[in-house]
Structure 1
Amino acid sequence: MNDTYSNGKDVIRITDVKLTTVQTRRRTGAISSHIVLQLSTDAGITGVGEISDLDCYRMYMPDPAAVKMGIEKVALGQNAFEIAALHERLLAYMPSYFRYANTYPPFTPASQIAAGVEMAFYDIVGKAFGTPVYNLLGGRQRDRFEITYPVFQAKKESDTERYLGYMDALVAEGVTRFRYYVGVNFEQDENFLIAFRDRFGDKVQLKALDFQGHHHWKDVLRIYDRFRQYGFELLESPSWREDYEGMAELRKRVDVDISEHISSLAQAMRMIRAGAVDVFNITIQSGGIYQAKKLFDLAEAAGLKSLISTTQEMSIGTAANAHLGAVVPQLHYAGDPVGPLLYVDDVVTEKLRYDGTQLIVPQGPGLGFEIDEDKLAALQAGLVEWDRPAHGANYVSD
C-alpha cells in the first residue's frame, strides 16, 4: 500500500469541511452556480468535489450554511475509505435521494449533495493509494468515450444565428455531435433545425431531440413525424408526468430509440416493467458514483442500452462522471458531460481535456484534479440571482 496516508492503515479521518459557492459563465453567456467542496484529512490529503449547476432550483435553492452543517454531520471524523457507510449516513439525513424518482430535472438537491460529498471521499482514497478513482471501481475498460454538446431552445429568431455562430467555433474545434432541446416553440425549433442542416449538412451529427418531459406522448409523436427529416438518433424525455405507459406506446411508433433519465432504482424498475425505454440515461447526480453504477448494472441485466448523462459539471464533477464511464461494461450512445467545454471558467489548475467528440478520462490520482485557489476566489459568488434567466429551461425565462 502507498505510505502517504496515516500510519499505513486503511483509515483516513475527515477533519474539516470547506464549501465555496461559485458562478461560471457558459459560451452562450448564461451563468451557472455551483458549490465547491474541499474535505481536509488527518493524512494531509484534501479531497475535492462539487455540487453542480444548481440554477434550476430557484424556489428551493440549497442554503450553503445548512449544507455545510449537514456535510459536517456525515463527514467529520469519518473514515474516507468507508463510502458505503457514507451513503447510509446520507440516506439517514436525506431519505429521498436514489430511493424516489424525480422526473425533471432528473435529480434533487439531496442527490446532488450526496454526489458532491462522495466525489471528495473517492478523491481522498484515490490520492491515498496514488491511483485514479476508476481503479477503485473495478478498473478502466476505456480511456476515452464519445460526447455530445447541448444546444438549448432557440426561443426567438435571433437565437438561431447566435447559436449557429458559437457552433461554428465548436465545429472548428472538432466538436461535431449535438443534442437539441425542443418544446418551448416548435415553429422556432423547426426554423433552427432547418438552419442547422443548411449550415452544417452531414458534417455534424444530431444525437437527440430532448423534450425535457414537458409534453404528452401523442404531441411528441406528431413532432417526431414532422422533424424526423432533420436526422437524429434518440428521443429524450419524451413524455410528462411519469407516463411510462404512454412512453411505451410512443416507443412502438417511432424508428429511433427512446432515452430517459433514471434517478432511482424504483423509477428504473417501473420503466423496465412498462417497456418504456430503450436507453437508460444515467448520471452521478442521481446520488454519486456508488449509486449510479447500480443503474448501469440494472440496465445490463434488463438488456437495455445506456449512456452517461450530466447536469453540466465543471472539471471536478465531469471527472467523476468520466471515471464511472471508464469502468461500466458498455456505453451504447455518446454521453453528455461537456461542462469543461461549455464553461468559459473553472476552478482547477488545468481543465479536463477533450479530443474533438471524445472525453479523455483523467489518469492522475483520485479524480485527477487540484483546486486553483486564485481561480476559486475569482469565481466566488452567491448561488442565485433572481433576475437572471436559468439556462436552457422553461422554469425561468426571459
Structure 2
Amino acid sequence: MITIREIDTFIVDIPTIRPHVLAMATMHHQSIVIVRMRDSDGVEGVGEGTTIGGLSYGEESPEGIKLAIDTYIAPVLKTCDATRVGAAMAAIGRGVVGNHIAKCAVETALLDMAGKRLGVPVSELIGGGRVRDSLPVAWTLASGDTARDIEEAERVLAERRHNIFKLKIGKRGVRADVAHVAAIKRAVGDRGSVRVDVNQNWDEAQADLGMRLLEDAGCDLVEQPVARHDHAAMARLSAKHVIPLMADEALHGPRDAFVIAARGAARIFAVKIAQSGGLLSAHAVATIAQAGGVGLYGGTMLEGGVGTAASAHLCASLPSLAWGTELFGPLLLTQDILAEPLRYADFELAVPTGPGLGIALDEDRIAFHRRDRTAPALHVVAERA
C-alpha cells in the first residue's frame, strides 16, 4: 500500500490589490491555507483551503482549517492508501464532521498526486473527464465606489480580461445599491454582463424590491439575496421574478443541492469546491443541478493559484456551464504564489494541462508570505505497522 509519509500545512497572508468590500466584511488581504503531502513513492501533491473574511462568512477560519487538518484529518490519512482518493475521503468523512474547506484542501492534494502518478490532469479524473480547455471568467467590482468601479470595468474590458462583472452589494439601502448597479450597467452597456451578489444581506421584502429594480436596470442575476437557510423565501422569489436567483451560501454539498433543486429555490447554482467539500462532491452538486434543470456557475472563495487551478479542473469537466465562472482569485492578490501564474486572456482562463493540477508553487514567495515565516521540515506521518 502506498501511504502518506509527510504533511506540511501552513497559512500564507497576501495583500489584495484594493479593499474588497463585501456585505459582511472588507478584505485587505487573503489568508490561504496550503497543504503539501508526499507519499511513500515520493510523489508530492498540493491543495488549498481558503475562506472569505475570517469567520464573518462561514463556519471555518484559516486557523481552524489548519487545525482540523493537522489534528484530526492527518491521523486518518496515515491509515489510507494514497492511490484511492475516494476511499480516503470516505474514511475522513467518517471521522470528521463538516469542515468542508479542510476536506477540500486534502482531497485536492490527493487528486494532484493521483494525476501526477497517472500522468494526466486532474480534470481527467472527474466525471467523464475534461470537456473544455478554457473558462469564461467574471471579475468582481467591489470597491464600493461607483466611479472607481466603472473605471476598473473599462480597464479590464480594454485588456480583454473580463466581460462579465459581479457587483458586491448589500451594505447600503436597496435603492442606493440598485442605483450603483444601474450606473455601472449603463457604462458597460452591451459589452458585458452585470450581476450582483448580496451575500444574504436582504430580508425577503428587500429582495422582492431589489430583484424587481435590478431586472429593470439590466442586471442578469442576483446571487444569494436572503439567508442561506430560508429556502421558502428563495423559492417564492424565484417563482415571482424573471431575473434568476443564484444559490451560493445555501449550497454545502449534494444534500443541499437536492433540497434546493427539488423546492425550486434557485435557478442557478454557484458550484464551489470548498463549500461542497471537494472536487468530487462539487461534481455531484453539479450533476444534481443539471438533472433538476438548474444552471451552473463556477464559484470562488477568492482562492489563490492552487485552489483556482483545482476549481478550473472541476469546471472543465462539467458538461454545461451556461453562466461561466468567477475564478479570478489570483488576480485580486498583489503576489502570485505559483511559479508560473495561471493564464488569463481573451476573457477566459486557460485550464492547466500538465499532470495533476499542472502547477508548481513559487517557493520564495511562499517562504516570504508564510505566516510563521519559517519553513519547518515536513511533518513525518508514521506508517501503519
Shorter-normalised TM-score: what interval? 0.7 to 0.9
Residue pair 1:32, 1:54 contacting (<8 A) in 2 also: yes
Give the partner amino acid of 1:225.
R
Give the partner amino acid of 1:149.
W
Q: Does residue 365 of the first structure (1) align with residue 365 of the second (2)?
A: no
Q: CA deviation at 1:242?
A: 1.8
Q: Does residue 167 of the first structure (1) align with residue 153 of the second (2)?
A: yes
- 2:344: which partner in 1? 354
Matches within 5 A, 1:322-333: 322-333=312-323
Superposed CA deviations along residues 105-147 of structure 1, whole A, max 9, x for unmatched, are xxxxx10000000010000011111111111122211111212
Give the partner amino acid of 2:342.
L
Unaligned 5+ segments in structure 2 are 20-27, 374-385
Q: CA deviation at 1:263?
A: 1.1
Once residues 356 and 185 of structure 1 are traced to their aligned partners in structure 2, the CA distance between those partners, rounded to angstroms, is 34
Once residues 311 and 345 of structure 2 are traced to their aligned partners in structure 1, the CA distance between those partners, rounded to angstroms, is 17
Q: Does residue 226 of the first structure (1) align with residue 213 of the second (2)?
A: yes
TM-score w.r.t. the length of structure 2 is 0.86
Q: CA deviation at 1:51?
A: 0.9
Superposed CA deviations along residues 15-47 of structure 1, whole A, max 9, x for unmatched, are 100112101222214201011111012222210
Once residues 51 and 74 of structure 2 are traced to their aligned partners in structure 1, the CA distance between those partners, rounded to angstroms, is 22
Q: CA deviation at 1:172?
A: 2.5
Q: SS of 1:322's equivalent?
A: helix
Which one of 34, 48, 71 corresponds to residue 36 of structure 1? 34
Q: CA deviation at 1:347?
A: 1.5
Which one of 180, 185, 203 corresponds to residue 192 of structure 1? 180
Residue pair 1:251, 1:276 contacting (<8 A) in 2 also: yes
Q: CA deviation at 1:194?
A: 4.2
Q: SS of 2:229's equivalent?
A: coil
Residue pair 2:271, 2:285 contacting (<8 A) in 1 also: yes
Superposed CA deviations along residues 136-163 of structure 1, whole A, max 9, x for unmatched, are 1222111112121112362xxxx33333
Q: CA deviation at 1:356?
A: 3.2
Give the partner amino acid of 2:86.
A
Between the two proteins, the alignment pairs up a number of residues equal to 355
Q: SS of 1:26's equivalent?
A: strand
Unaligned 5+ segments in structure 1 are 1-10, 97-109, 384-398
- 1:128: which partner in 2? 117
Residue pair 1:176, 1:356 contacting (<8 A) in 2 also: no
Which one of 87, 92, 99 corresponds to residue 85 of structure 1? 87
Q: CA deviation at 1:369?
A: 0.6
Residue pair 2:238, 2:265 contacting (<8 A) in 1 also: yes
Q: Report the aligned-residue RMSD.
A: 2.2
Q: Structure 1 stretch 45-54 or stretch 145-154: which is displaced more?
A: 145-154
Residue pair 1:15, 1:77 contacting (<8 A) in 2 also: no
TM-score w.r.t. the length of structure 1 is 0.83
Q: SS of 2:55's equivalent?
A: helix
Residue pair 1:160, 1:192 contacting (<8 A) in 2 also: yes
Q: Does residue 182 of the first structure (1) align with residue 169 of the second (2)?
A: yes
Q: Does residue 259 of the first structure (1) align with residue 246 of the second (2)?
A: yes
- 1:94: which partner in 2? 96
Give the partner amino acid of 2:146.
T
- 2:134: which partner in 1? 144
Q: How many percent of aligned residue pairs carry the same amino acid?
A: 27
Which one of 261, 268, 277 corresponds to residue 257 of structure 2? 268
Q: SS of 1:56's equivalent?
A: coil
- 1:103: which partner in 2? none
Q: Does residue 243 of the first structure (1) align with residue 217 of the second (2)?
A: no
- 1:291: which partner in 2? 281
